[in-house]
């Protein structure tokens, strides 16, 4: 399965024969509200046409994607939402990384209860969830892995060879980095 990466959950360490469910949060970053006192930290300006006037200043109201500390803020925020759920369900394992949440329990009843609590907590915090993105049946896809009943394998990597544009180059580099880390 490759080396352990700090900060990344490790699905191979899950107990064997436990039941799983995976939640994918839609547009996770853009659903995390920022406190108004932090507006100066998330400010940006837009120039006017031909420099006719001063730049217009704006600030984000929700967590922007692409800032250096956005992933840390996202992880911390989701962790604070999920910690009461973890405390309430005891032996259930809840892993999360960015917008992916994995819930693992020894039986179906406990999994259903933990999944309901997790979904309620996320919805109460204002997250939009898509029912079709909640994986309850195997094979489960989580963080580039395909998890079966007894196996965990890397998802099939498709590398684009027909590179014509800058986004194609960026996608190719991302595929290359993903392959090196796996």
Residue-range domains of the chain with CATH: 15-47+57-138 (3.30.70.270), 150-181 (no CATH)
Q: What is the pLDDT of residues 116-142, one digit of tens each?
A: 999 999 999 999 988 888 998 888 888
Q: What is the pLDDT of residues 77-109, one digit of tens each?
A: 999 999 999 999 989 999 998 889 999 999 999
Q: What is the pLDDT of residue 79?
A: 93
Q: What is the pLDDT of residue 127?
A: 93
DSSP 148: -
- Which is higher by pLDDT, 59 or 11? 59
Taking 60 as the threshold, does the pLDDT of residue 7 lie above it?
A: no
Taking 50 as the threshold, does the pLDDT of residue 48 lie above it?
A: yes
Q: What percent of the chain has pLDDT over 70?
A: 90
How far apart, in Å, are the Cα atoms of 107 and each of 1, 113, 115, 169? 26, 10, 12, 45
Q: Tell me the whole-structure pTM to 2 decimals.
A: 0.77
CA-CA distance, 102 to 22, in Å (whole number)? 5
Taking 90 as the threshold, does the pLDDT of residue 148 lie above it?
A: no
Q: What percent of the chain has pLDDT over 90?
A: 41
Q: What is the pLDDT of residue 3?
A: 45
Burial (CB count <10 Å: 0-12, 13-18, 19+), residue 101:
buried
CA-CA distance, 123 to 128, in Å (whole number)? 7
């Amino acid at each position: 399965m490759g080396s352990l990466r700090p900060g990344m959950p490790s699905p191979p360490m899950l107990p064997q024969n436990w039941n799983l469910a995976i939640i994918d949060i839609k547009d996770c970053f853009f659903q995390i509200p920022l406190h108004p006192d932090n507006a100066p930290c998330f400010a940006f300006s837009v120039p006017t046409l031909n420099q006719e006037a001063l730049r217009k200043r704006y600030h984000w109201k929700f967590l922007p994607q692409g800032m250096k500390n956005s992933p840390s803020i996202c992880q911390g925020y989701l962790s604070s939402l999920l910690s009461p759920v973890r405390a309430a369900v005891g032996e259930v394992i809840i892993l999360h990384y960015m917008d992916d949440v994995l819930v693992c329990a020894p039986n179906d009843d406990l999994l259903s209860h933990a999944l309901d609590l997790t979904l309620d907590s996320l919805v109460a915090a204002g997250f939009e969830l898509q029912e079709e993105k909640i994986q309850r049946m195997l094979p489960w896809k989580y963080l580039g892995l395909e998890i079966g009943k007894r196996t965990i394998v890397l998802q099939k990597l498709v590398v684009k060879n027909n590179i014509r544009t800058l986004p194609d180059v960026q996608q190719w580099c991302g595929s290359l980095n993903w392959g090196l880390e796996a």
